[in-house]
Structure 1
């Protein structure tokens, strides 16, 4: 499954206000709650699951990219959100670089392996310097989504 199929303009944050890893997780989940994609009651549970995942091993995959992800029993289908921080955030990435691009993925508890191909696709997409450059240049949620769609179609 490609990432663009899981996104919409309401699932894109063109400029995140968070300054720390925990703030990133909270901001992204709060955005999904405000958009109606996650329930208010699941907010704390999802943030806690994401933080626990980050404590085990950082999802900062290098090149300024992180893919925080977790399972939730309150979902019937996967939900994603793309966020960008121009200043960059320390996310304990494998290359020790700050992270500028975040792709949050929350997967239904009863579909434990459904996200693996999506994670691999996101990693492959953002391993391309040209993709990261386009994401840096885009200014609005619409521009970011359009650029992601174009980059994904070029890789297929």
Structure 2
């Protein structure tokens, strides 16, 4: 599955004011519930926060990939966020996070989930990609950068 197929322009946020790890997870959970009738805000937040309790999804270099599998979800959904101010995310390198790709997948999509996480981690491992994402001036410019990164 292509990373771009997980995103849409209404799920790309540039300069989001998150404030904290928990608050950012709440904001994205709320947005997803409002834009997808088959998602409940509490279920999304619970899935994401429970995954974080197993270990931070902060992969280093200011990047996190919060993710979870959700029962009842029909197809994978992604949200990309560049925070206005980096937040502590308990990342493996102890650096604050400002780039986040949220990934929700159906409960039984194990292989798809792992393959997508691997592709995301590979793209974010490149400093050039991270720098381009951080240079975006608007949601639409950020979407264009993501399209060129994941194409």
Same fold (TM over 0.5): yes
Q: Which runs of 4+ in 1 moved over 2 A?
A: 37-40
Aligned residues of 1:77 and 1:108 also touching (Cα < 8 A)? yes
For each residue in 1:53-111, what CA deviation from the matched residue of structure 2 results, as whole angstroms up to 9, or x when unmatched? 11111000001000000111131000000011131010000000000101000111122
Count of matched residue pairs: 151
Gaps of 5+ in 2: none
| Matching residue of 2:17 | 17
Compute the displacement of 1:38 (Å).
Answer: 5.0
Structure 1 pair 38–59 and aligned structure 2 pair: CA distance change class (3 A): farther
For each residue in 1:36-59, what CA deviation from the matched residue of structure 2 results, as whole angstroms up to 9, or x when unmatched? 22546x210120111111111100
Aligned residues of 1:2 and 1:121 also touching (Cα < 8 A)? no
Gaps of 5+ in 1: none
> Does residue 30 of the first structure (1) align with residue 30 of the second (2)?
yes
| Matching residue of 1:93 | 91
Aligned residues of 1:66 and 1:101 also touching (Cα < 8 A)? yes
What RMSD, in angstroms, separates the aligned Cα atoms of the two structures?
A: 1.3
Structure 2 residue corresponding to 1:103, chosen from 89, 98, 101: 101
